[in-house]
Amino acid sequence: MLTAIAAMACTVKPTQLEDECLYGKNKTMFTFWSPVAEQMELRIYDSAETEDFETYALKKDDNNFWHTSVKGDLFGKYYTVRSYQTGEWSEESPGIFAKAVSVNGARAAVVDMSKTNPDGWADDKRPAMNDSTDIVVYETHLRDFTMSPNSGIDHKGKFLALTETGTKTADGLASGIDHLKELGITHVQILPMFDYGSIDETTLSKGNYNWGYDPINYNVPEGGYSTDPYDPTARIKEVKQMVQALHAAGIRVVMDVVYNHTYNVAGCALGRVVPQYFYRLNSDGSYANGSGCGNETASDHEMMRRFMVESVCYWAREYHIDGFRFDLMGIHDQETMRQIRAALDKIDPTILTYGEGWAAMAPAYPEEDLAMKRWTWKMPRVGAFSDDIRNALIGSPFDHERGFASGNSAGKNAVCFGLVGGIDYSDGKFGDGWSGEPMQHVSYITCHDNYCLRDRIDVSAAGESEDTKLRMNKLAQTGVLVSQGMTFIYGGEELYRTKLGIDNSYQSPDSINTIPWENKLKYNDLYEYYRQMIRIRRQHKGFRLGSAELVRRHVEFLPSQSEALIIYHIKDLEGIDSAKSLVVLLNGSAETMEADIPAGDYTILAQDGKANAEGLGHISSPSIKVAPYSATILAQ
Ligand code: CA
């Protein structure tokens, strides 16, 4: 009998935070969570603007969920919720899990999600992916990618920009999606595209720019990227069209998620309906501020954790999102990240999870339980950005020093640490391993934060010729693209973008942030180098062995005559790669270096600033010259 009751209990789906508004043609059900409210009420509005509303009292169940249902077809209507506690009514809010909203996200909208699907959506498939180390992520912002008059893209700054095919730069070269295909990246990571607060959606014609790290409604697309922010359905459909078009091009989509803080507390649903619960507080009752943005959320609180788990799963199911990049992941606790991983695995284990394993300031939570970089190994299949390889290759963002690729060999060991994917390697010879597997180490040198690569090299290697700076640029990116970790490049580096020395362009105008499509022709040599390096990576499994054990078995570093020369040897690859072995020589100095390589005849894949996956020629051991600030890559 007891067993039968237990089995029955399991068939009842627990109330989910995401069930706030369940639309039906004849009635719509509403459910909101609050453990502290003494009363809650729902307001239904006929339009986004009207001040008139109908009020419905909500009834609390044993689990602190408040319910009501409203008869009739509510499609096209708007709603808000407010709660009464400690003697006063809260401000109205669209709820914490609105899925559609009015312009600027003030009211939630009742939509029929089945009407938001583009044609063919049921057949949309995630492109094939074998292993996380196979991927090359390309980070971009919808405006950066499209706003240039030379982009050839019609829907500038909109989700639909990434649905256009056949687009060309002013010089007739592929742009847009076709460019991404040609470049050979596997994933596009889009800067925040959930509804954020820093752009007024009613004045879009002003062309204001913001990165968007200020969440308002976590589960609704940003209206500023929609062709009609006043139509709650349009932005939902347009994100799906974008995902569908990228998938059709063989490219997966990663979403940048910012659960670590909200735009503000008083104006945000998380703060309004259940005051304080979703945030960490200091001992004096003030809001903790690990984000540096005025507050930090409390993933260690049960319902904040559930909120995050349900939110990523919602985007993965409803929008077919293929990966999540967690902003300031170090603010979240490890257990939440493990639960997110487990929940996504049930949808599709190839969905990526990685983030920034740090915080802006110390969070109000025990460090040893936070998802900080050094604890990455405790969160299997969750990755963290490697500031180790970044700082080693190009220098730290906190100073203007050079890195290995620009002539400072102090970073040699840390480059090697990055090449092996941040694992425990050779008794910690290159540093304490923090990744359990190489896929947990996101190899990168630049992203939206700090200088872009051209500007970084300009400030740290001022006085060098442009030819030398271009060599340093290629060498630095080569270090990323031959790493055993997961690889990541900042969109526009392949077009030699500059932000004119601005190292925090979060609200700079398009003229600073847009990528220069005209450079595809002007700096075609650089573009072609990036493209070929990505091809070389994707053709050679030796650069992405995929497990720590294989990296320890097949990777060695050969003795070199100089601290400025790394000789990275990936050996015994029979049955793994088309090559028997790969040799990568990275010369971070202004001198030509000479090195001995293992016996054999080799195809040259890269040399002296040129790269070609089919080969540039042949060479035999024992001795080889490596040109200044350049990589030589050989396949045997
Ligand atoms: Ca917005």
pLDDT above 90 coverage of the chain, percent: 94
User: Is 467 an active-site residue?
Assistant: no
Provide the pLDDT for residue 266. 85
Task: Using the mean position of ligand 1's atoms as its centre, give its distance from the Cα of residue 353 in Å.
Answer: 25
Q: pLDDT tens digits, residue range 101-114?
A: 999 999 999 999 99
- Provide the pLDDT confidence category of residue 515 given band limits of 50, 70 and 90: very high
- Provide the pLDDT confidence category of residue 6 given band limits of 50, 70 and 90: very low
Ranked by mean pLDDT, which of 101-110, 423-432, 617-626 comes out on top?
Answer: 101-110
Average pLDDT of 471-485?
98
Average pLDDT of 565-586?
98
Average pLDDT of 5-12?
49
Task: Using the mean position of ligand 1's atoms as its centre, give its distance from the Cα of residue 17 in Å.
Answer: 21
Nearest residue to 74 (alpha-carbon basis) of 96, 106, 104, 107? 107
Q: In this model, does residue 235 exceed pLDDT 60?
A: yes
Nearest residue to 482 (alpha-carbon basis) of 443, 525, 424? 443
- Provide the pLDDT confidence category of residue 271 given band limits of 50, 70 and 90: confident
Q: pLDDT tens digits, residue range 44-86?
A: 999 999 999 999 999 999 999 999 999 999 999 999 999 999 9
Q: In this model, does residue 9 exceed pLDDT 50?
A: no
Q: In this model, does residue 262 exceed pLDDT 60?
A: yes
- Tokens (6 digits) for 454: 């051209």
- Provide the pLDDT confidence category of residue 505 given band limits of 50, 70 and 90: very high
User: Is 574 an active-site residue?
Assistant: no
Provide the pLDDT for residue 12. 57
Q: In this model, does residue 459 exceed pLDDT 70?
A: yes
The residue assigned the tokens 């009020």 is: 55
Reduced to 3 states, what is the DSSP secondary structure of residue 373? helix
- Provide the pLDDT confidence category of residue 4 given band limits of 50, 70 and 90: very low
**Residues with Cβ within 8 Å of residue 188, at least 6 apart in sequence:** 137, 138, 139, 140, 162, 180, 246, 251, 252, 253, 254
How many other β-carbons are positioned within 10 Å of the β-carbon of residue 138?
25
Q: Which of 195, 300, 310, 356 is catalytic?
A: 356
What is the signed CA dihedral for 210, 213, 218, 220, rounded to 10 degrees? 20
Q: How far apart are CA 100 and CA 226, in angstroms?
A: 13
The answer, as to whether pTM is greater than 0.95, is: yes
**Residues with Cβ within 8 Å of residue 48, at least 6 apart in sequence:** 78, 102, 103, 106, 107, 109, 230
250: left (phi over 0), alpha (psi -120 to 50) or beta: left
Which ranges in 25-140 belong to alpha helices (H)?
A: none
Which amino acid belongs to residue 492?
G
- Provide the pLDDT confidence category of residue 11 given band limits of 50, 70 and 90: low
Provide the pLDDT for residue 14. 76
Q: What angle do CA 219, 221, 226 make, to 5 degrees?
A: 165
Provide the pLDDT for residue 5. 47
Task: Using the mean position of ligand 1's atoms as its centre, give its distance from the Cα of residue 272 in Å.
Answer: 18
Provide the pLDDT for residue 2. 44
Task: Using the mean position of ligand 1's atoms as its centre, give its distance from the Cα of residue 104 in Å.
Answer: 5
Q: pLDDT tens digits, residue range 532-556?
A: 999 999 999 999 999 999 999 999 9
Average pLDDT of 328-339?
98
Provide the pLDDT for residue 347. 98
Q: In this model, does residue 213 exceed pLDDT 90?
A: yes
What does pLDDT average to over the chain? 96
From residue 602, how far is each of 319, 495, 566, 620 by CA, in Å? 46, 31, 18, 6
Q: In this model, does residue 609 exceed pLDDT 90?
A: yes
Task: Using the mean position of ligand 1's atoms as its centre, give its distance from the Cα of residue 594 in Å.
Answer: 56
Q: Which of 322, 327, 333, 455 is catalytic?
A: 327
Task: Using the mean position of ligand 1's atoms as its centre, give its distance from the Cα of residue 211 in Å.
Answer: 12
Provide the pLDDT for residue 21. 97
Do residues 91 and 82 make contact, with C-beta atoms less than 8 angstroms apart? Answer: yes
Task: Using the mean position of ligand 1's atoms as its centre, give its distance from the Cα of residue 238 in Å.
Answer: 15
Average pLDDT of 141-161?
98
Average pLDDT of 515-524?
98
Task: Using the mean position of ligand 1's atoms as its centre, give its distance from the Cα of residue 271 in Å.
Answer: 18
Q: Which domains does the chain have, with CATH numbers?
A: 2-116 (2.60.40.10), 132-543 (3.20.20.80), 556-635 (2.60.40.1180)
Give 124's Cβ-side CA count (13 Å radius): 25
